Amino acid sequence: MRDPRRLRLVGLALGLLALLLAPFLVDALLGRAWVRVLDLVLLYAMLALGLNIVVGYAGLLDLGFVAFFAVGAYLYALCASPHFGLHLPFWLLLPAAALLAAGVGVLLGAPTLRLRGDYLAIVTLGFGEIIRIFLNNLNAPVNLTNGPQGITMIRPIEIAGVSMARPVELAGLTVPSLHLYYYLFLGFAALALVVSSRLEDSRIGRAWIAIREDEVAARACGVNTRDLKLLAFALGASFGGVAGALYASFQGFVSPESFGLTESVMILCMVVLGGMGHVRGVVLGAALLVALPEALRYTGPLQRALLGSVYIEPSDLRLLLFGLALVLVARWRPAGLWPSPVRRRELAERHAPGGPESAQ
Amino acid sequence: MLGSIYALVALGYTMVYGILGLINFAHGEVVMVGALVAITAIGVLGPATGLPGPLLLLVALGVSVLACMLLGALLERVAYRPLREAPRLTALITAIGMSIVIQNLAMLAWGRQYLSFPALLPNEPMILLGATVTGTQLIIVALTALAMVVLMGLVNRTRLGRAMRATAQSPALASLMGVNVDRIVVVTFLVGSALAALAGVMVAGYYGQAHYHMGFMLGLKAFTAAVLGGIGNIPGAMVGGLALGVIESLGAGYIGALTGGFLGSHYQDVFAFAVLVLVLVFRPSGLLGERVADRA
């Protein structure tokens, strides 16, 4: 009885140690650029967990999730850069970003959520594009967003007077800026993970899953479907807003270019590929899809070696592969690469009568 | 002008939606493929055969219609048919995935640049009833009207049309009555794609250019038009398309004056979206729709 538990504790401790040492190991083995990739994996994991609440739990298709990411990023950029001469503190801007994104989510969700999910998909798709048009054009006559040039010189995050942009000396060990961001993002991603998995087991989480499975039945059982869908939407959006604020300070630069449809699709892909409604699967999806473009870079030299010249730019392949992944996963593995145990059981039951997938 | 193009594309959305209850996200991309195929056909056939302009355009249109019908049928067979019984979310994800795949394949095939559409029709402006119009514009309107009359006839007057309407009401019952539902669905995709090809050629002719990314916004606007008119409703799609075209042009023209120069005509694309949200808030069943949109 005690042994497995202790084993689990040891495993957990080892995992934690590995996570803490990861940036140093990666830095030593693969180079500084991959530490950056690691940072981005954590950031996107946060985003994907946010979208997972909307798509995975409540079963609402949001195709413009990047809009909330943009809202958070621009809020931080405007309030912590020389653009307006504002330098509000990080701890104030972070909740503000979450609140603002959630507010926008409610505004967008309220008219569409009482209708069928399809409308939400198309409205969010449109909104994702529209927000980019606004960011691009709100530089005249009053310069709000600085248009296509974007906002530069965004102040890095400062915690307890320590700026994250400069290396920190700690007990004789130099911790570079990228490593500092890694730990910050690790903290937030862990928070997102805990919140997500606790939600899944909560009353609210079960109500969401009921809505996803059968909205009419859920309503008949006394679930307030409209409010709960709105809550899922707002909560997911607030994750996006926080991730956006972190992203702005991490990059030191935001421009409308970074918030296109590609990003929305990529985040959706992470959720679908990893396993809708399964927290660990979603994190796996984020790790896979952030690393993929980096790995695709090697196909350029490979093409040259095998075929003599580069026929297809590796960066052109990225979106194509995302699209293919969505179609193939939806067709062959609707529960994702790493499905949640509950979901897998449900799908097995659904296919059970005479189907080849019948589990029992 | 734009309105009639929106109307043509909206018909494709509305027909598929009426029969399958599925938003075919990839429909806008079919329009894009139609435009690009026509440009290629003109580029290849023009020098080879030396046909005069209008005839060449007609041939290119035919090629593009065939290509799009093939694409539409393929889309239905490969992506949507296996998922007809699957949860709605899965079908939506597949649809958006297919749209991305088609768009990127087109980018690989035709490149990232804008392709120019040769002016094959007389384009001198003329005065008609006090308005200045060009030949291209007149032809667009005339062709749209013709396509719609043919479509209405097909749906309301033929055996095939009756089978389509039956399938839209209840696929199960229709199949009991001896309708081959799979065939009807394919036919719907074929007709929708043919209209999309027509719209694609028109929009390329109208702007004089086309590129791989044009399908996205066009698809979004056409969908708005379909919702505005009442989704699943064929006359609704026409009315919605024309109305949206007018709203957009007037809106883009007057927004500067209305807001004291604060917002300019580069917000044109925002109008369709605003219309979509407003319709969904106040009249989700659309202008001509009688069916409730909240069918679970």
Q: Which residue has the tokens 């990225």?
A: A318
A109-113, A238-242, A333-337: which is most confident: A238-242
User: Lowest-confidence range among A38-52, A114-128, A248-262, B231-245?
Assistant: A114-128
Helix or strand or coil: residue A175?
Answer: strand
Residue in B88, B93, B105 closest to A326 by CB: B93
Contacts of B220 in chain A (CB under 8 A): 122, 125-126, 129
Identify whether the C-beta of residue B67 lies closer than 8 Å to the C-beta of residue B34. yes
In a domain, B205, yes or no: yes
Does residue B17 surpass a pLDDT of 80? yes
pLDDT for the residue B125 = 65
B293 touches chain A (CB under 8 A): yes
Instruction: List CB contacts (< 8 A) between B273 and chain A.
Output: 123, 126-127, 129-130
Is the pLDDT reported for residue A102 higher than 90? yes
Confidence of residue A350 (pLDDT cuts 50, 70, 90): low
Average pLDDT over residues B185-189: 90
Name every chain B residue with its beta carbon within 8 A of the beta carbon of A327: 79, 94, 97-98, 101
State the Cα–Cα distance between residues A108 and B148, nearest whole angstrom. Answer: 34
Lowest-confidence range among A31-40, A187-196, B8-17, B97-106? A31-40
Nearest-Cα residue of chain B relative to residue A117: B89
Average pLDDT over residues B98-119: 85
Q: Shortest CB distance from A326 goes to which of B94, B281, B296?
A: B94
Q: Do A119 and B227 lie within an 8 Å CB cutoff?
A: yes
pLDDT at A238 over 90: yes
Number of domains in chain B: 1
CA distance linking residue A183 with residue B55, whole number of Å: 67
- CA distances from residue B265 to A137, B158, B252, B271, B274 in whole angstroms, order as listed: 10, 45, 5, 10, 15
Minimal C-alpha gap between B263 and chain A (Å): 8
Alpha-carbon distance B133 to B144, whole Å?
Answer: 16
pLDDT bracket for residue A357 (50, 70, 90): very low
pLDDT tens sequence across B229-242: 887 778 888 888 88
pLDDT tens digits, one per residue of A38-92: 888 999 999 999 999 998 888 888 888 999 999 999 998 888 877 777 777 778 8
- pLDDT confidence bin for B290, thresholds 50/70/90: low
pLDDT at residue A2, rounded to an integer: 58
Which residue would you say has higher pLDDT here, B135 or B17? Answer: B17
Cis peptide bond N-terminal to B171, omega within 30: no
Cβ–Cβ of A323/B277 closer than 8 Å?
A: no
* pTM exceeds 0.80, yes or no: yes
For chains A and B, CB pairs below 8 A equal 127
Let me know how long chain A is: 360
Name chain B contacts of A137, Cβ cutoff 8 Å: 264, 266-267
Report yes or no: B45 and B75 within 8 Å, Cβ to Cβ: no
How far is the C-alpha of B188 from the C-alpha of B165, rounded, in Å? 11
Determine which of A237-246, A259-268, B111-120 has the lowest per-residue pLDDT on average.
B111-120
**Does the structure show a pLDDT above 50 at A355?**
no
The single-letter DSSP state of residue A159 is E
Q: Which of A176-180, B50-54, B273-277 has the lowest mean pLDDT?
A: B50-54
Q: Measured on CA atoms in the order A257, A259, A262, A267, is the torsion positive or negative?
A: positive
Average pLDDT for B101-120: 83
Average pLDDT of chain A, as a whole number:
81
d(CA B10, CA B195): 9
In chain B, the residue whose alpha carbon lies closest to the alpha carbon of A107 is B277
Rounded CA-CA distance A136/A86 in Å is 21
Dihedral sign for Cα A31, A33, A39, A43, please. negative
- What is the average pLDDT value for chain B, to the nearest integer? 81
pLDDT at A359 over 70: no
Residue B31: pLDDT band (50, 70, 90) is very high
Q: Is the pLDDT of residue B113 over 70?
A: yes
Long-range (24+ apart) CB contacts under 8 A made by B129-134 are none
Q: Under an 8 A CB cutoff, do B284 and A117 touch?
A: no
**How far B134 CA lies from chain A's nearest CA (Å)?**
31
R_g of chain A, CA atoms, integer Å: 21
Task: Please give the structure tokens belonging to residue B158.
Answer: 């033929």
Q: Which residue has the higher pLDDT, A237 or A345?
A: A237
Report whether pLDDT(B273) > 50: yes
* A116 in reach of chain B (CB within 8 A): yes
Return the percentage of chain A with pLDDT > 90, whole number. 13
Partner residue opposite A133 with nearest CB, options B79, B87, B270: B270
Does A241 score more than 80 pLDDT?
yes
Give residues 146 to 205 of A whose Cβ lies within 8 Å of B.
Answer: none
Confidence of residue A360 (pLDDT cuts 50, 70, 90): very low
Identify whether the C-beta of residue B103 lies closer than 8 Å to the C-beta of residue B216. Answer: yes
Q: Would residue B46 count as lying in a domain?
A: yes
Chain B residue closest to A217 (CA)? B296
Chain A hits for B216, CB-CB cut-off 8 Å, are 129, 261
Hey, what amino acid is at B266? H
In tens, the pLDDT along B131-161 reads 667 777 788 888 888 888 888 888 888 888 8
**C-alpha–C-alpha distance, residues A6 and A1, integer Å:** 9
Give the HSE-up count for residue B77: Cα atoms under 13 Å, Cβ half-sphere: 10
Query: pLDDT per residue over B247-263, tens digit each?
Result: 888 877 777 666 655 56
pLDDT exceeds cutoff 90 at A142 = no
Smallest Cβ–Cβ distance between A125 and the set B107, B220, B267 belongs to B220
Q: What is the mean pLDDT of residues A98-127?
A: 82
Which helix (H) or strand (E) segment holds residue A170: the answer is: strand A168-170
Domain that holds residue B93: 2-121+129-214
Higher-confidence residue: A293 or A267? A267
Q: How long, in residues, is chain B?
A: 296
Structure tokens at A69: 């990411």
Q: Is the pLDDT of residue A154 over 60?
A: yes
Q: Tell me how far apart the alpha carbons of residues A61 and B51 are, in angstroms, rounded to a whole number.
A: 49
Residue B149 is predicted with a pLDDT of 87
pLDDT tens-digit series, residues A190-208: 999 999 989 888 899 889 9
Which of A87-96, A130-139, A222-231 is the most confident on average? A222-231
Weakest-pLDDT range from A95-109, B66-80, B266-280: B266-280
Residue B174 burial by CB count (10 A; 0-12/13-18/19+): exposed, middle or buried? buried
Task: Give the pairing of strands B126-128 and B131-133.
Answer: antiparallel
Alpha carbon B77 to its chain's center:
20
Answer whether A346 touches B (CB < 8 Å). no
Handedness of CA B247, B248, B253, B259 (dihedral sign): positive
For position A356, what pLDDT does the model report?
42
Q: Domain coordinates of chain A in residue numbers?
A: 32-260
State residue A140's pLDDT score: 67
Minimal-distance CA residue of chain A relative to B17: A118
The Cβ of residue A5 has, within 10 Å, a number of other Cβ atoms equal to 9
Lowest mean pLDDT among A210-224, A324-338, B221-235, B253-267: B253-267
Residue B295 neighbours by CB distance under 10 Å: 9
Q: Give the model's confidence band at A13: pLDDT under 50 very low, under 70 low, under 90 confident, else very high.
A: confident
Interchain contact B86–A (C-beta under 8 A): yes
Place A347 in a pLDDT band, splitting at 50, 70 and 90: low
